[in-house]
Amino acid sequence: MLRRFVLTMFFLVLLLAGVLVSLAPLLLLRPKLEAPVFAMALCLWLALALLILLPAANMLLRRIWFFRGQGEPVSLDQLRQRLLTVNAMDCPVTALARRKKIIFTWRYRELRWCELFSQLGKNRLDELHCRFDADLRTVYLCDRVRAADFLICPDRVKIGRRRIPLPLLRARMKQLAAIEQYAALAEYDYAFQAREIKSPVLGTILASGWHVRYTLF
């Protein structure tokens, strides 16, 4: 795990350095350009840098944070069924099935958990989006976060728009290595951190023989 962190930081710094170096020609031309022209050129450079930086960072994340599945892979339907078993458990995590993905998040729509989130002063809603590639037997895990207000539960909970957080890389937990282990935990065993969603999902997918890649989008 430490090696993955080091590689990620090294290549990110290298990527950022390359983008900053590309600004040098524009800075050299600064004395010859009028202020409005320079400002427009700088905005164009910034837009182009973002268009290059985000896909490059995503490709980097996918390559470094790749986890190989263990054993013979199950079918897509079997994997989805295993992941959706969380909905039958007495735990604060729920899974929302979509056509091509499953979204894991906290059970804020249930009064019991919503009131607990309010008591703890929780102000964000963690989400884990799982997108399936049946041909490659790979699941892409994507972190999302939403602002949340749990003051009036559960009917008037305010949930903000999804945004991209820094990817949650350190997710492995011994006491939550698979979805089945949710059943052994009580309310007070949870810290309600994003990795309490990601760790068991990651472990269940790998134990089902499917590979996992982290991704930004």
pLDDT for position 137: 98
pLDDT for position 194: 94
Q: At what angle do helices 35-64 and 2-21 cross, to 10 degrees?
A: 160
Dihedral sign from CA coordinates of 176, 178, 183, 184: negative
Which residues face 174 on adjacent strands? none
Nearest Cα residue to 143 out of 155, 133, 157, 129: 129
pLDDT for position 90: 94
pLDDT for position 156: 86
Neighbours of 179 (CB within 10 A): 24
pLDDT for position 34: 92
Per-residue pLDDT tens listing for the chain (217 residues): 789 999 999 999 999 999 999 999 999 999 988 999 999 999 999 999 999 999 999 999 999 999 999 999 999 999 999 999 999 999 999 999 998 899 999 999 999 999 999 999 999 999 999 999 999 999 999 999 999 998 889 888 999 999 999 888 878 788 889 999 998 899 999 999 999 999 999 999 999 999 999 999 9
pLDDT for position 99: 85
pLDDT for position 154: 85
The structure's pTM equals 0.93
pLDDT for position 88: 96
pLDDT for position 2: 81
pLDDT for position 18: 93
* 156 Cβ contact partners less than 8 Å away, ≥ 6 residues apart: none
pLDDT for position 171: 81
Q: Which two tokens stand for residue 146?
A: 């939403």
Rg (CA), the chain: 21
Provide the total of helices (H) and of strands (E) in the chain, helices listed first: 6, 7
Q: Which two tokens stand for residue 77?
A: 């339907």
Residue 86 burial by Cβ neighbours in a 10 Å radius (0-12, 13-18, 19+) = buried
